[in-house]
Structure 1
Amino acid sequence: FQDFLLAQLGMRKLTEKEHTIATHIIGNIDDAGYLERELNSLIDDLAFNQNIETTFKEIIGLLRVVQELDPPGVGARDLQECLILQIRRVTPRTESVANAAVILEKSFKEFTRKHYDKIQRRHKFTDDQMRLALEEILKLNPKPGNAVADNTRTDHHIVPDFFISINDRNIELSVNSGNAPDLKINRSYTEMLETLSESKGKLDIRQKEAAFFVKQKLDSAKWFIDAIKQRQNTLLVTMRAIINYQREYFLTGDETKLRPMILKDIAEMVKLDISTVSRVANSKYAQTPYGTFLLKSFFSESLQNEAGEEISTREVKTIMQECIEAEDKGNPVTDEELTAILKEKGYNVARRTVAKYREQLDIPVARLRKEL
């Protein structure tokens, strides 16, 4: 990304000193496109590291040069400046674009808090003017550097550790053997040790040392192979326990069938330490007929419904997510309303618990979900 900016900088008419300063500025721009360092700190850096004396006026002028480079918004010091830099370069300059610039320059705090009524009253916008201005702002990129980085980014594919299939209501489990190939000790080394052992009384000191060395390495190799087999066995035993505990879910794929399950439940079933089960749950993936999941996603705490039955918190979160996805974006459901909806469905959950689950789902509060 920085190379892309430096290539553009090379086409600007700058003195050697100006080019060095601008290059230093670009060197302090992160992958998202933002300037990481304070301008006064850049002045100090140039003085101490490159023996270049500069002024605030000169460095701000060269920052403006950098901010004229592509992608629009690069070199900004905060989100507001980033969006303003972009909106100023939007063409044609329609009324909606001009109104969007006014919002970003004069009512940014209200915009971030979605206080659209305040913005409308302050700038005397009609509903249509407000809506069109917001549409222009939503076209902007809050991380302009990513637009360049995305072109060079490589995709990372998850390789599952387990394969789960359903055959006539039987759950079949297999381990991905590619993650742990079948290891064997090279026969030539065991034969070498056997030959040395047979000649034990005729060996000189160097041959005895060689025999001891080979035996040590063979013992280490056997220990390593046994450790790998033990690890594979631990993975299989843990996954089988999870499948047995969540059998109905794996047969149907219905998330409401997931039973409350914590690490301790599985640890007791397989007679392993909780930390061992935790490492497996947090790092291994299972490919099922319904998708590929981190094992951790099959675990959840429990709560009681009105009938006194223990249910998974995952079930409650699923209902919350469905309610929020189906909400009127002009009047999104609040945490209080979600609490009431859950109570109607038989889930007696406190409002603060609803807020906690919403945050775990990475869903913002109702006010920030509001759209015009």
Structure 2
Amino acid sequence: MQRLDMKQLLSQKLSPQQIQFIKLLQIPTAELEARIKEELEVNPALEEGEEEPEDEFDDLDSDDGDEEFDDPDAELDNPDNTLDEDFDGEQSEEQPEVELPVKEEVPEVAESSSESDDLDLSDYLNDDEIAGYKMQGDGPGEDEDDREMPLADTSGSLMDSLLSQLGFSSLDEYQKTIGRQLIGSIDGDGYIRRDLSAIANDLAFSQNLEVAVPEIEGVLRVIQTFDPAGIAARDLQECLLLQLERRPSDETVEHAEHILNDTFEEFTKKHYQRIQQKLDLEDNELKEAIGLILKLNPKPGGSGPVGGGKIQYIIPDFLLSHDNGQFNLTLNTRNAPDLRVSPAYTEMFRAYDKASKKDKKMKEAVTFVKQKLDSAKWFIDAIRQRQNTLLRTMDAIVRYQREFFEEGDESKLRPMILKDIALEISMDISTVSRVANSKAVQTEFGIYPLKYFFSEGIATDSGEDASSREVKYILKEIIEGEQKKKPLSDDKLEKMLNARGYNIARRTVAKYREQLNIPVARLRKEL
């Protein structure tokens, strides 16, 4: 038997304003420009330019009871917009909470008992939920948060360059068909890692060509003469040998070829004494040959002007300068665009409001204009709140890491986690995480991602906590100053750090060394 039950539930739901703010907060400056241009294209009520002294659209939403957003140009902690106060771990000044209002109650629109064709504009002015408002999805999904925005590549691809060189080669059309198949099999590093027999099968199925493996290998030899040097190699050994073949023949090149041909395994493991004994080389001959090999390019596919590698340019979101003991923090101008609600659309709405005849077409026109005006106002408010949140977060980071920003010394970095900044600016940890995820700051010492300043603490003999970033910096200094003929093992590095007062285990040393992309002691050995 079917039953009907009633349940009363209390749940939280993100408003369209909050969803838009979250999306705008987490994107970097380069993507913000594209997002603003997209909004300008789809919303005619939004335009570039400074706002009027008095917002002409404020009175339209006066009945909604919305809270005003914080002014992004308001001073943060002092009248000069500087950061000269010492950070004491507590919030020195009560700052207003910057959160978009949640619409808990939606007023019901009363049904008009008058004629159906009449229009009451107050019904639309008090309508909080605007149907059909264009959003970039229903919520901040994980896939959308982590996706990479593609960048246009105007320099051409590696495949285009190789196909162009193939066209100028002396191969006939049959061989060029094989060559195009081989070029299509080259991976991003510039290698052909597929068996030639598999490529022969591909030619049989796709091109209806019965090709023998020796024929494919002959065409491959021609492609391996193309630029860049070492392209279309089947393994690292062949790649390095192809590059040596293009060098003028001398004694050092011959020794390097012998090392790669006869003692490649010993070379990869840096067993130099075995190489020297096996090839009967003098110390200086071995050193010159190894030095030549180390100058070769192990990944020819990512080199040259036609490389397939993607270049990402960092655009700083913040500009930080230090003048007479005071820090001046400003937003990149691309983060603070001038946007306003179109006066033409505002006047259009007022004209509809004053119209004496209000039929069905008038109702549709009012709905469209109201949606566009609300959309524009929400977008401007979200941009403003984004600016204010970015400034407050970076302000707290600068005050927390003041010693580092004064001298640029990595050893001056203090342990800092997301929670420390969230408590300082009275915001949620997730908000701080979104700000730090893909933003960067330009300082007098270079451009740093905000993630760089966050690190956990490590206990010291003095009872204080040291930043893991500081420990990594000291570890890197020790390794750079070691004797390359006898590099330090992780056990010795642990003892040296412990002697300096850092209570750290050997496995932690190994983890930090790997994070710094420093190989083990055996692979750091040099002649």
Q: TM-score range by the shorter chain?
A: over 0.9
The answer on 1:218 being equivalent to 2:373 is: yes
Q: Which one of 209, 214, 221 corresponds to residue 364 of structure 2?
A: 209
Task: Quote the offset at 1:48 in angstroms.
Answer: 1.4
Q: TM-score when scaled to structure 1? A: 0.93
Kindly report which structure 2 residues correspond to 1:166-315, keeping only aligned pairs within 5 A, or say none: 166-199=322-355, 201-315=356-470
Distance 2:319 2:483 in 1: 40
Structure 1 stretch displaced more, 201-210 or 9-18: 9-18
In the alignment, what sits opposite 2:304? 148
Following the alignment from structure 1 to structure 2, what is the Cα–Cα distance between the partners of residues 13 and 151?
24
Residues 13 and 287 of structure 1: CA distance in aligned 2, closer, same or farther (over 3 Å): closer
Match of 1:347 in 2: 502
1:26 equivalenced with 2:183 (yes/no): yes
Q: 1:109 to 1:154 in 2, by over 3 A?
A: closer
The change in CA–CA distance for 1:363 and 1:150 in structure 2 (over 3 A counts) is farther
| Contact 2:301/2:307 (8 A) holds in 1 | no
Q: 1:270-312, CA deviations, whole angstroms, 9 ceiling, x for partnerless residues? A: 2333222122112111112222110111111101111111111
Aligned pair in 2 of structure 1 residues 241, 26: CA closer, same or farther (>3 Å)?
Answer: same
Q: 2:215, 2:480 → 1: CA distance?
A: 51
- Native 8 Å contact 2:203 2:209 kept in 1: yes
Q: How many residues align?
A: 370
Report the secondary structure of 1:149's partner residue: coil
Question: Which residue of structure 2 aligns with residue 362 of structure 1?
Answer: 517
Does the 8 A contact of 1:31 with 1:149 survive in 2? no
Return the alpha-carbon distance in structure 2 between the equivalents of residues 305 and 242 of structure 1. 23
Alignment of 1:81-160 (within 5 A): 81-92=238-249, 94-149=250-305, 157-160=313-316
8 Å Cα contact 1:339/1:350 also seen in 2: yes
| 1:168-196 Cα shifts (integer Å, max 9, x gaps) | 32222111132230210110100110111
Task: Please list the CA deviations of residues 49-106 of structure 1 after superposition, one character each: whole Å capped at 9, or x if unmatched.
Answer: 11111122221222122123333311101111101222233322x2322221121112
Deviation at 1:124, TM superposition (A): 2.6
- Following superposition, the deviation at residue 256 of structure 1 comes to 2.1
Q: Where is the helix percentage greater, Structure 1 or Structure 2?
A: 1
Deviates more, 1:8-17 or 1:83-92: 8-17
The CA distance in 1 between the partners of 2:295 and 2:410, in whole Å, is 35
* Residues 100, 136 of structure 1: 8 Å contact kept: yes
Supply the distance in 2 between the matched residues of 1:167 and 1:96 (Cα, whole angstroms). 54
Q: Is the 8 A contact 1:333 1:366 kept in 2?
A: yes
| Structure 2 contact 302–308 (Cα < 8 Å) conserved | no
Normalised by the length of structure 2, the TM-score is 0.66
Go from structure 1 to structure 2 and tell me whether the alpha carbon gap of 1:349 and 1:234 turns closer, same or farther (over 3 Å shift). same
Q: 1:36: how far off?
A: 4.5
Select 1:50's aligned residue among 184, 204, 207: 207
1:3 is aligned to: 160
CA apart distance, 1:222: 0.9
1:72 corresponding residue in structure 2: 229
Q: Does structure 1 retain, via aligned residues, the 8 Å contact 2:161–2:306? A: no
- The one-letter code of the counterpart of 2:509 is V
Q: Secondary structure at the match of 2:171?
A: coil
Q: CA RMSD in A?
A: 2.1
What residue is the counterpart of 2:132 in the other structure? none
- Indicate the residue corresponding to 2:75 in structure 1: none
8 Å Cα contact 2:301/2:308 also seen in 1:
no
TM superposition shift of 1:32? 3.3
Percent identical pairs in the alignment equals: 54
**Structure 1 pair 297–137 and aligned structure 2 pair: CA distance change class (3 A):** same
Q: 1:60–1:366: structure 2 CA closer, same or farther, 3 Å change rule?
A: same
Q: Which residue pairs with 2:62 in the alignment? A: none
Contact 2:319 2:331 in 1 (8 A): yes
Structure 2 unaligned residues grouped into runs of 5+: 1-157
Task: Find the aligned partners of 1:104 and 1:360 in 2 and give their Cα distance.
Answer: 30
Distance 2:271 2:402 in 1: 48
SS, match of residue 35 in structure 1: coil
Gaps of 5+ in 1: none
Larger RCO: Structure 1 or Structure 2 (Cα < 8 Å, ≥ 6 residues apart)? Answer: 2
State the 1:152 CA deviation. Answer: 9.8
Contact 2:188 2:308 in 1 (8 A): no
Q: Quick one: distance in 2 between partners of 1:104 and 1:233? A: 59
Q: Which stretch shows the higher mean deviation, 147-156 or 350-359?
A: 147-156
Displacement of 1:128 in angstroms is: 2.2
Amino acid corresponding to residue 8 of structure 1 in structure 2: Q
The AA in structure 1 aligned to 2:260 is: L
* CA distance in 2: counterparts of 1:69 and 1:150, whole angstroms: 13
